[in-house]
Amino acid sequence: MSKIITAQGQGPLNSIDDWEDDLLVRYPDAEAIATGRDTEAYRNYEATLKDTVREFYRLQHINQTYDFVLEKKADYLKFDKKEMTVWEAFDFLNQLIDDSDPDTDLDQLQHLLQTSEAIRADGRPDWMVLTGLFHDLGKVLCLFGEPQWAVVGDSYPVGCAFSDKIVFSEYFEGNKDHHDPRFNTKYGVYEPNCGLDNVHMTWGHDEYIYHIMKPYLPEPALYMLRYHSFYPQHRENAYSHLMTSHDHQLFKAVAQFNPYDLYSKSPLTPNWKELRPYYEDLVAKYLPSTLKF
């Protein structure tokens, strides 16, 4: 398969996986939910942060505005980019090979399979296994020409004040919404506890795959997909004021999912050939023969 270098080479990250590698440095512990930031640990984190990762957050924070998100949703949620079978979609995603370190990095499908297999090994419901397999498929946005900061990165609401619990929140100074009275108050365009269904999140792979899978998967699965990068809530509890009790209930599912995403990476590669029949049956149980992107 031909490697697409430029898709990952738009920078500043050498690979979009660098963001997730950085998450492991920021959240080394699967269980810990932030209760007031541990300042010493945070200083250590800042000290070891790569310049490319810092620049990535800067670009994300200045460019993810309310208008940007609405524009991307209007475009992508027409689903007129490409129609693929699930397997063609995985092949398509796998063109995102990290050329900075091709020997040691796993391809995208391996991360998805490691996640889904870890979920399966724990005897979780089959729709959660399927969620593990699909959760990062939205990264095909890279192949549609989106910059890294509109594909990966922590997700968070736009249209209201950016929380200071978001990593590198000081970069929001460069975001025009931060200076716009419509958007820079605690609730902005939203009502207190309006529910996350009514909130626009930053545009990225989570939001995209959530909308693609929405007709087919149960609600906890959709929460896992849409909020798996919403670290400012599931780790920092920064946006409870926009959430309903129903959201909080379903965030238990998001918290259950997160360790499988973040901590299931291993150098052992699952045997796709052996596993494929199981996943073919699972996909056929829940999904149509082709998906629209």
Q: Smallest gap, in angstroms, from Cβ of residue 261 to Fe ion?
A: 4
Of 181, 223, 183, 189, which Cα lies nearest the Cα of 206? 223
Per the DSSP assignment, residues forming a β-bridge with 292 are 83
Q: Residue 134 CB, nearest distance to Fe ion (Å)?
A: 10
**DSSP code string of 162-221:** PPTTSTTGGGGGG-GGGG-TTTSSSSTTS-TT--GGGSPBPPSHHHHHHHHHTTTS-HHH
Task: Check: CB of residue 83 under 8 Å from CB of residue 193.
Answer: no
Please, what's the b/e burial string for 64-91 (b: 16 or more CB within 10 A of its CB; e: otherwise)?
Answer: bbbebbeebbeebeeeeeeebebeebbe
Task: Tell me whether residue 236 or residue 261 sits nearer to Fe ion (CB atom).
Answer: 261
* Closest approach of Fe ion to the CB of residue 180, in Å: 29
**Of the two residues 65 and 116, which places its CB atom closer to Fe ion in the complex?**
116
- In the complex with Fe ion, the residue whose CB is nearer, 183 or 235, is 235
Instruction: Please identify, using beta-carbon distances, which residue of 130 and 160 lies nearer to Fe ion.
Output: 130
Contact 232, 238 (CB under 8 A): yes
Q: How far is the CB of 184 from Fe ion (least distance, A)?
A: 28
Distance of closest approach, residue 210 Cβ to Fe ion, in angstroms:
11
Q: Minimum CB separation from Fe ion for residue 133, in Å? A: 11
Torsion on CA atoms 131, 85, 286, 229, rounded to nearest 10: 20
Cα 140 to chain centroid distance, Å, stands at 12
- Residues found near Fe ion in the complex (CB under 5 A): 136, 261
Strand partners, 128: none
Q: How far is the CB of 130 from Fe ion (least distance, A)?
A: 14
Decide: residue 93, CB within 10 A, 0-12 exposed, 13-18 middle, 19+ buried: buried
Distance CA 136, CA 209 (A): 7
Measured from the CB atom, the residue of 190 and 202 that comes closer to Fe ion is 202
d(CA 68, CA 72): 6
In the complex, least distance from residue 114 CB atom to Fe ion, rounded to whole angstroms? 9
